[in-house]
Every structure is written in structure tokens, then in C-alpha cells.
């Protein structure tokens, strides 16, 4: 009976050691999982900051594009005005005729 009890105590002690090792492995796995989650959280924050910067850049590009479009419209209108003025100038200059230099009396 003593031998049987001693065997059971040793067997129980072995089971407790195995359970302790298993618990340590679980704690280690949970710790690694926690580290991974912290890294994911940090990366998500960095991505969010990056997306914010991209949004600011896109908004600035949009503003610049709108300004450029307005400048193109103004340039086009100015070119049309210049064309009209050059046509009028050509008409005015065309009204003047130069006398033939051979028809002049000496």
C-alpha cells in the first residue's frame, strides 16, 4: 500500500510538472500573441497617419488642379481677346494704302 501510494505520489508529481510546463508554454504563447497585437496596433497607427498625409496631398493637388483650370480658362479668354484685337488691327492697317512710289511726281 505504501509502495502504491508512493507510485501515485510520483505519478501525481510528474503530472503537476507536466501541467506547469504546459501552463508556461501557454503563458509564453499569450505573451507572443500580445506582442504581435501591439505591433499590429502600432502599424495600424502608422498607416492611419500615412493615409492622412496622402489625403492632405490629394486635397492640395485638387486645389492646384482647380487653380490651373482657372488659369487655363483665363489664358484662353485672353488669347481670344488678343485674336480679336489683332483682327481689328489688321483691318485698321489694311485701310491704309501705300502710294506707288513710281507714280509720284519729282
Reported pTM: 0.53
pLDDT above 60 (res 18):
yes
Query: Which tens digit of pLDDT belongs to each residue from 48-92?
Result: 999 999 999 999 999 999 999 999 999 999 999 999 999 999 888
pLDDT above 80 (res 26):
yes
φ/ψ of 96, rounded to 5, equals -85, 130
3-state helix, strand, coil in the chain (%, to 5): 90, 0, 10
* DSSP assignment letter at 106: -
Amino acid at each position: 500500500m505504501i509502495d502504491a501510494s508512493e507510485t501515485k505520489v510520483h505519478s501525481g508529481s510528474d503530472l503537476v510538472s507536466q501541467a506547469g510546463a504546459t501552463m508556461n508554454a501557454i503563458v509564453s504563447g499569450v505573451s507572443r500573441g500580445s506582442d504581435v497585437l501591439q505591433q499590429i496596433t502600432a502599424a495600424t497607427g502608422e498607416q492611419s497617419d500615412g493615409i492622412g498625409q496622402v489625403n492632405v496631398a490629394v486635397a492640395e493637388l485638387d486645389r492646384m488642379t482647380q487653380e490651373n483650370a482657372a488659369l487655363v480658362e483665363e489664358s484662353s479668354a485672353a488669347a481670344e481677346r488678343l485674336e480679336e484685337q489683332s483682327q481689328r488691327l489688321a483691318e485698321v492697317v489694311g485701310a491704309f494704302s501705300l502710294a506707288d512710289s513710281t507714280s509720284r511726281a519729282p
